[in-house]
Amino acid sequence: MDFRRQKSWYRHLFDTLIPVSTQFYFCYTTWLDWSNLMPKLKSHKGLLKRIRVTAKGKVKVRRAFGGHLRSHKSGKLMRSYSSPNYVGKADIKRIGAMLKMRLKPNK
């Protein structure tokens, strides 16, 4: 039997433990009502894959333009792309809001 198609698909979890009466059924359906729960502060998962927060709270990112089309770029330029890049003041507030953290801009 597919419990996900039922209106209360989690009811079978309690049927094996405690016999269901109408009063008890009302109690645990309101207890498991997902709308009563507080919203979670979740950080932006796509941003977390692209940055690294240092121990001092700075945000380290990968430099742009070094991923492909390298044949016409000089070696000096490609080596400069591998050096660390930190997020500046202009973007640090927006990134901090997406991560739910307090961050420091690079000086």
Per-state percent for the chain, helix, strand, coil, to nearest 5: 40, 5, 50
Same domain, 32 and 66: no
Same domain, 60 and 94: yes
Largest CA distance in the chain: 76
Same domain, 80 and 56: yes
State how far the Cα of 101 lies from the Cα of 90, in Å rounded to an integer: 16
Closest among 46, 43, 44, 78 to 63, alpha carbons compared: 78
Same domain, 31 and 65: no
pLDDT tens string, the chain, 107 residues long: the values are 555 555 565 666 655 555 545 555 555 555 556 666 777 889 999 999 999 999 999 999 999 999 999 999 999 999 999 999 999 999 999 999 999 988 988 87
Residue-number span of the structural domain to which 66 is assigned: 45-99
With 0.95 as the threshold, say if the pTM is over it: no
Closest among 60, 42, 45 to 103, alpha carbons compared: 60
DSSP 8-state secondary structure symbol assigned to residue 78 = H
